[in-house]
Chain A
Amino acid sequence: MVTVVHENLEDTDAKMSARDVSVYYGDKKAIDEVSIDIPTRYVTAFIGPSGCGKSTFLRTLNRMNDTIPSARVEGDIMLDGEDIYKSGMDVVQLRARVGMVFQKPNPFPKSIYENIAYGPKIHGLAEGKDELDAVVEKSLRRAGLWEEVKDRLQDSGTALSGGQQQRLCIARAIAVDPEVILMDEPCSALDPIATAKIEELIDELNGRYAIVIVTHSMQQAARVSQRTAFFHLGKMVEYGRTSDIFTNPLEKRTQDYITGRYG
């Protein structure tokens, strides 16, 4: 079955593009020939039932699947026209350009300040303490966390609430000035109020970074994204404007999923 891509997408400037990407875990095929263009200026949501491969596909975009020994990727994934799976690709540099926020907040057991300063330090993005301070403040401000933590930057990052921890992780990703931010179900471990704050934050970051978000919640996809891709059983079933996908899906399986008939 072929992916249905809506024709009214005028995204000529694709930040990342995947062509016929398949992912295997050992012999098992987890992703089957997915092709998609991730636009520069929008939030793209991947939706679909559990185990449909949306998180796996997300992790191929910054080669986090490399950390799983049995995972194997076929096909091409381009970042600004450059194949990120070509031999000699600097994976470390790639991950600095394509940042990631995980399902469960995972701040390092260090101070809030050190959590943010970690990336700039290892990549040499800041010279001296003043510059580092500035990067930390800017990142925390962008993540909407500055006002809450500015007086206790030396406290442990793990002492924050779940929602604050997740915003700390977003701030940490922002600190290395990425071009793309991948978010793997960033709100699934959070309560509704913390979720609302993260969604607000995604709205604010939209336009500055290309954002890809995997989510279980269709309402969340509808609220924060402009493009939506529906995944099912390792295939991308349908891709289009979020408004079209939710109001006027072309595929029956998409229709069934968003009306809550399965998944």
Chain B
Amino acid sequence: MSLTILLLLALGLGLAGWLAARARAWTFRKASPTGRLASLPSYHAWYVALWIVLPVLVFIAIWSAVAPGLVTQSVLAAPAADQLPAFGFQRQTILNEARAVATGAAQGVFNPLAREFVEPYRDALSFYNWIGIAATLVIAFLGGAFAFLRLKPDFTARTRVERIVMAILLGASLVAILTTIGIFVSLVFETLRFFGMVNPIDFLFGTHWAPDPMSNPENPDATRYGAIPLFWGTLFIGAIIAMIVAIPLGLMSAVYLTQYANPRLRAWVKPTLEILAGVPTVVYGYFAALTIAPAIRDLAVDLGASNPSSESALAAGLVMGVMIIPFVSSMADDSIAAVPQSMRDGSLAMGATTNETIRRVLVPAALPGIVAGVMLAISRAIGETMIVVMAASTAANLSANPLDSMTTVTVQIVAMLTGEGSFDHPATLSAFALGFVLFMVTLGLNFIALRVVKRFREAYE
């Protein structure tokens, strides 16, 4: 509520600054003998408006994080605070109830004690609301005044605005990076807690995975936390079976589309193939679980296997392979198409057939791009969850038989986090350790892929 008010206030003040600055620039323009300014009036206007809005936005961001704490602080100064339970869940519930009533989100309270805090909350909220609005006004005024006083006929507002815009763009790109770092740090933190309970050696090299969320959290059985079956399942399904499907099919479709297909067919097939990349993986999961997995089971029975599982690594891997064909083919397509026509001509003029030209000149020249596409596809495949959940089960088997049921890292992360264990139980925390390992592996793969792409750019000339 108060956040909306502050944001609207910021925009209103920005608009006012914009109009005022433009009016001022127009008076400069009228007064100037040449009728020209160093920058157009609209740049003056934007300069002032940005100087008002940006500091206010920064303030609002900080304020909205700090204000609730300040409110609670002042509520606790109320006389009724002595009766509150000292710590924990109940104390928090009471405060939350009072707060809900005070802001109008709830009508009455369940806990009689909470009623005592409704008034203090209401007072504190409105007090800090006014403080926020006042601070916003002051900051907007200071920023606006600073910018407005700098306006002169020869003021280079245009280049200033350019610089501010650049800073905004930089900030936007930093958000993604900072978020990644934040995720990484929180992962590391929880992972370290887990490794405090279970030895990393047991985790990384143990071959038995059966965490028991109901066991005593103080003394976990480290032999039940061996993650090798999960790593193997991930590798087997995502990087081996899926790639056996995706690499040849993706590559061949890319070759066909770039070298043989006539332009009209290409214009139709290529987008269709790329649409495949947008199909939700759950849909693939249905397909894997309802169609492919039973078919594979029947096939296994026909081949004489006794009692095959209806959930198999093969089913998940095959469908996952189909899912990532577009990634492989689209990257391969781009990099084959990027090989200069002169290479192709040179080879054809030597008397090579189209097929020889593709195999011996185009694909080798495009190889770095193709490899990069495969790397991205692998990191996508090993991070995939839904298909495996639906088609390959949650049983952690260490097996080389593709007809066995297997599970992957991502599936176990979901299973552990949604399990019955409390949040500080090692079984739950193991999800973070798994996530951390997965993060490192995909990060490494992406890093390699980017390096390969970079080398690819320098391949010709």
Contact = CB atoms under 8 A, between A and B. Distances in A.
Interface of A: 62, 64, 67, 69, 92-96, 99-100, 102, 104, 106-110, 118-119, 122-123, 158, 169, 172-173, 176
Contacts of A109: 343, 364-365, 459-460
A107 B459 CA distance: 12
B134 interface: no
Contact of A119 (B343, B345, B351, B365): B351
B351 A95 contact: yes
Contacts of A172: 346, 350
Nearest to B350: A119
B67 interface: no
Given A102-B342, A104-B342, A106-B340, A96 B351 contact: yes
Interface residues of B, number: 22
B349 A92 contact: no
B353 A108 contact: no
B315 to A, nearest CB: 41
Contact of A108 (B262, B343, B348): B343
Q: Which label, helix, strand, loop or mixed, suits the secondary structure of the B interface?
A: helix
B356 interface: yes
Given A106-B340, A109-B459, A93 B351 contact: yes
B167 to A, nearest CB: 41
A122 B459 CA distance: 24
B352 interface: yes
B451 interface: no
A110 B350 contact: no
Interface of B: 262, 340, 342-353, 356, 360-361, 364-365, 459-461
A62 B350 CA distance: 10
B361 to A, nearest CB: 5
25 contacts: A64-B345, A64-B348, A67-B345, A67-B348, A92-B353, A93-B351, A94-B351, A95-B350, A95-B351, A102-B345, A102-B346, A102-B349, A104-B342, A106-B340, A106-B346, A107-B346, A108-B343, A108-B347, A109-B343, A110-B364, A118-B347, A119-B350, A122-B352, A158-B460, A172-B350
Contacts of A100: 349
A96 B356 CA distance: 14
B361 A108 contact: yes
B344 to A, nearest CB: 8
Q: Which label, helix, strand, loop or mixed, suits the secondary structure of the A interface?
A: helix
Nearest to B359: A122
Q: Taking each of A96, A102, A109, A158, which has the highest tally of chain B beta carbons within 10 Å of its own beta carbon?
A: A109
B350 A96 contact: yes
Nearest to B361: A108
A123 B347 CA distance: 12
Q: Taking each of A104, A108, A123, A172, which has the highest tally of chain B beta carbons within 10 Å of its own beta carbon?
A: A108
A169 B348 contact: no
Nearest to B459: A109
A92 B360 CA distance: 16
A122 B356 contact: yes
B350 to A, nearest CB: 5
Contacts of A92: 351-353
Q: Taking each of B262, B345, B351, B460, which has the highest tally of chain A beta carbons within 10 Å of its own beta carbon?
A: B351
Given A108-B365, A119-B350, 5 more contacts: A67-B344, A106-B346, A118-B350, A118-B352, A118-B360
A158 B461 contact: yes
Nearest to B366: A109
Nearest to B461: A158
Contacts of A94: 351
Closest 8 interchain pairs by CB?
Answer: A96-B351, A106-B342, A100-B349, A95-B351, A106-B346, A119-B350, A92-B351, A109-B365
